[in-house]
Amino acid sequence: MSPSIRKVVLTTHVATSVGWLGAVLAYLGLDITATSSQVSNTVRGAYSAMEVTVVYVIVPLALASVIIGIVNALGTPWGLFRHYWVLVKLLLTVLATTVLLVETSTVSHLAQAATSDADPRGLPGTMPHSVGGLVVLLIIMVLSVFKPRGVTRYGWRKQDEQRRSKRDLRRPPGRRTGSVGFAESID
């Protein structure tokens, strides 16, 4: 991947990831409002806004973040499976996205229940998932910034291959094969 394309991909990945984090914070505010307000219309509005936020903002940003993150990792020296921090980020992002997709139906069900004739103030909300999702996204962000050391077995193998390749390029042309030829035995 060329440096300019890599920068575009990285910028898009950062934008979708930060957008996802911001949307989860907004959703958390709506969730707190839905579960703590004593005004029925406010609760109804909060649940409706939660559904819209999940379906039209959080899910698309999460899916985009996963896809663009994979493309970004594959196009950089970090790779997708070379470093533990990248692998943990990938697993946490896929886990968070999976939980989000499963939880989307719950949010839609709560929004429908809140807009019915029944009193919506007794609905349970989704606070554990909101807070859990926020914590996971913050962990992913910390991993992205600090990039803790640790190379996977695959990463060690790739680094070893690169070292050998560089070492072979520095050898004189007749000595790259590793076998002793006639000219080399005279030396």
For the chain, the domain total comes to: 1
In a domain, 178, yes or no: no
Contacts of 70-79 with C-beta under 8 Å, sequence gap 24+, read 71/9, 71/13, 72/6, 72/9, 72/10, 72/13, 75/1, 75/5, 75/6, 75/9, 76/1, 76/6, 76/10, 78/147, 79/155, 79/158
In a domain, 153, yes or no: yes
pLDDT in tens, 116-137: 989 999 999 999 999 999 999 9
In a domain, 181, yes or no: no
Residue 154, token pair as written in the block? 């695959």
CA dihedral 84, 89, 90, 96 (to 10 degrees): 140
pLDDT in tens, 135-187: 999 999 999 999 998 898 888 888 888 888 877 777 766 655 555 544 444 44
In a domain, 99, yes or no: yes
The rounded distance, in Å, linking the Cα atoms of 180 and 140 is: 51
For residue 93, the domain's CATH number is 1.20.120
- Domain of 124 in residue numbering reads as 3-172
Give the global pTM.
Answer: 0.83
In a domain, 89, yes or no: yes
